[in-house]
Each structure stands twice: as C-alpha cells, then as structure tokens.
C-alpha cells in the first residue's frame, strides 16, 4: 500500500496542506509582533492564500513593510 501512487499523493497533499497552515501561522505570529494583532479581514486574506510561493514571499516582505496593509498590497 505504501508504494501506491494514490497513497503517496495523499501523503504529499497532507504535507503540503500542513506547510500552508504553518506558513499562515508564522505570518500571523510574526506580523503580530511587528504590527499588532491582524484584524479579521487581514487574517481571512492570509488564510485564503493556498500558494506556498506567495506565502513565502509574504514572510520575506514582513521584514521590509511597516503595516498589515502594506504587507497585503
């Protein structure tokens, strides 16, 4: 079963989903330290992003922007 293509795809999807959730958590946590708590609209915008590359870009931008609005622009 572990060699099954379907099983491997399910595992990979789970890892990817876990990575996305972790990036959401990291952005919100680091942003809270830098800008204060995110409002619900910003939180929803971040949590709606499913593209890992886009989320990683946001983590890099956190160190150069000065607000949640600027981060999400």
Q: How far apart are the first and last CA of the chain?
A: 45
DSSP string over the chain: -TT-HHHHHHHHHHHHHHHHHHHHHHHHHHHHHHH-SPPHHHHHHHHH---HHHHHHHHHHTTT-SSHHHHH-
Tell me the CA distances in angstroms from 46 to 5, 32, 36, 64, one per residue in order.
31, 13, 15, 18
Q: Would the pLDDT of 2 be above 90?
A: no
pLDDT tens digit sequence for 16-65: 788 899 999 999 999 999 999 999 999 999 999 999 999 999 999 999 99
pLDDT at site 11: 62
pLDDT band at 9 (very low <50, low <70, confident <90, very high): low
pLDDT at site 1: 59
């Amino acid at each position: 079963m572990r060699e099954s293509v379907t099983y491997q795809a399910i595992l990979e999807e789970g890892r990817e989903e876990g990575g996305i959730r972790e990036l959401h958590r990291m952005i919100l946590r680091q942003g809270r330290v830098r800008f204060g708590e995110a409002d619900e609209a910003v939180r929803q915008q971040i949590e709606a992003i499913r593209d890992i590359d886009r989320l990683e870009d946001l983590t890099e931008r956190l160190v150069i922007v000065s607000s949640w609005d600027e981060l999400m622009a």
